Structures are given as structure tokens and as C-alpha cells.
Structure 1
Amino acid sequence: MTTRTASARYDGMGRTGKGHITTQSGILTDQYYGFNTRFEDEPGTNPEELIAAAHAACFTMALSFALERAGFRDGTLETKAAVKLEQSDGGFTITRSDLVLDASVPGISPDQFAEIAAGAKANCPVSKLLNAEITLEHHLK
């Protein structure tokens, strides 16, 4: 079992508050977030961006291991994730994560690749965590 941690602090309340996120690894240390970084274009991060990064990384790693198990040892996988936050019922809900994958895997057929990629999408731990629609568009070079 592996446990990873992060912490958040929010000074002030609501729109005028200022948040800071720190991760266990230190890759993020007091990284700014707030209303303006989440709902407008102010520099800084936000929860949806961090979830998108986690989903892209998790799916891509899961796919690389699934491809290796299927006998493929070489290639490149590049995934972008777009996490959508929508207002509903007086609150907000993350409704979907759209994965777009560009891949180069020498020797794999398009059908075999599609099957392995679909399995990775369904079985990566972040996909399992999200209570949202998950789509996958993939392009095999």
C-alpha cells in the first residue's frame, strides 16, 4: 500500500481568499490557488488542473505497463486530459475527464492498441476514483 499526501491552506473566505497547496514530494510548495485561478485566467493552479495532471499521468503509466505485459517494449505515449467543472444544483460538479492520447508503438495493430488503451482507461486508479464520464480519443502513429 502506498499513501501520498498533500495539504491546502486558505486564508480569507470565498472569492477574496487566497489558497496555497503543498505536496509531500515538495514539487508544489505553497503553490497559489484561489477563485481567480479556478474560474478566471489568473496564473496559479486549481483542483481541476491537478486532477487533469493526475489522470493523464496515471492513465499513461497504466497503458505503458499494459503494453509491456502484451510484449511491447518500445514506443512513446503522450496524453492530455481535460477535466470539466460544471455548475449544477447550486453547486459545482466535475462531470468529465476527456483523455486524448497520441501514441507510437511499433508493431502493434490498431485494434490491439484500442483494446489495451480502453483497458488502461477503465483500470487506472484515477479513472476508478473519478465519479465522472471518462472519454478516450487515441491516435496511433
Structure 2
Amino acid sequence: MQRSGNAVWRGAGKDGSGTVSTPSGALKEQPYSFRTRFEDESGRAGTNPEELIAAAHAGCFSMATAFQLAGAGFTPEELRTEAQITMTQGAGGWSISAVKLVLRARVPGIDDAKFQELANNAKAGCPVSRVLNAPITLDAKLEG
């Protein structure tokens, strides 16, 4: 199986701009630039690669958690995940230095110890977790 995305960039690094697209149409010529990546703290001016990685990680981890739960005989009512990516600038340039997954879940019939075990299994097994070269922490809580 292969998946793809594409980007078009025009101009120099700081003054240029580009678009990202996916074959599914989920992203269609979505704008991004130096400003949307490094200067716009609100994140409202356009996307950036790290935001897309965060969304991909949140989606991957949520699905991996659902599979872990189902394999253990539990059906989640809802899994809400936020992936928070930390960027740091070092001597070699910018890097993703940490990822924090924040999971809030409603899973009938499960105790917290089993939930934590399965959520941590999902964190370790999620393909996006495995591709990232940064420490990944998990804050998982059951609700309701």
C-alpha cells in the first residue's frame, strides 16, 4: 500500500509560498508559507507541515486505539485525540523535538489500568508514532 501527498512551492524560502494537496481531495491547494509555519501563532493563516503531521498522528493514534480496544473486547463511544507537536531550533536547524498525545475517551466497561495499557500499546504501534524521531508522551483519560 502506498499513500501520497504533493506540494508546489514558488519563490525563495522566507518570501515564497506554496500549496499542499492530497489525491483524496481532503487538501486541495491548501496554502502554506514561512509565515504560516513560523510566525502565525494562531495557525489561522494557512497550514504547515507540522500541523499536518499532528493531524495525521492524532488520526492514526485514534484508530490504533480503537483497534486495541476492540481486540480486548471494548467498543469506544468516542475517542478524541489532540497531537501537540513541539518545534525547536538547534544548531542543525528546526526539528520536531516532542509530541504529546492528549486522549479523552468514553469507553463503557473498561477500567483505567486496562485503558492505559491499551492506549500505550496504540501509541507504540501507530505507524505515525513509529516514523517520528521524537519523544512521544501520552495523557490519556477516561470520561463519563
TM-score tier by shorter-chain length is over 0.9
Amino acid of the residue matched to residue 142 of structure 2? L
Deviation at 1:90, TM superposition (A): 3.9
CA offsets 1:47-82 (integer angstroms, 9 cap, x no match): 000000000000000000110010012421100011
Partner of 2:46: 44
Partner of 2:23: 24
Amino acid of the residue matched to residue 18 of structure 2? G
Deviation at 1:135, TM superposition (A): 0.5
Q: Structure 2 unaligned runs (5+)?
A: none
Structure 2 distance, partners of 1:90, 1:118, is 31
1:82 and 2:47 equivalent?
no
Q: Is the 8 A contact 2:76 2:105 kept in 1?
A: no
TM-score, structure 2 length as denominator? 0.94
Q: Is the 8 A contact 2:98 2:136 kept in 1?
A: yes
Deviation at 1:45, TM superposition (A): 0.1
- SS class of match (1:16): coil
Q: Is the 8 A contact 2:129 2:136 kept in 1?
A: yes
Q: Is the 8 A contact 2:6 2:20 kept in 1?
A: yes
Amino acid of the residue matched to residue 7 of structure 1? N
Select 1:135's aligned residue among 124, 134, 137: 137
Structure 2 distance, partners of 1:113, 1:139, is 8
Structure 1 distance, partners of 2:30, 2:98, is 25
Partner of 1:9: 8
1:72 and 2:87 equivalent?
no
Q: Structure 1 unaligned runs (5+)?
A: none
RMSD: 1.0
- SS class of match (2:14): helix
- Residue identity over aligned pairs, in percent, reads 51
After TM superposition, what 4+ stretches of structure 1 lie above 3 angstroms from structure 2? none
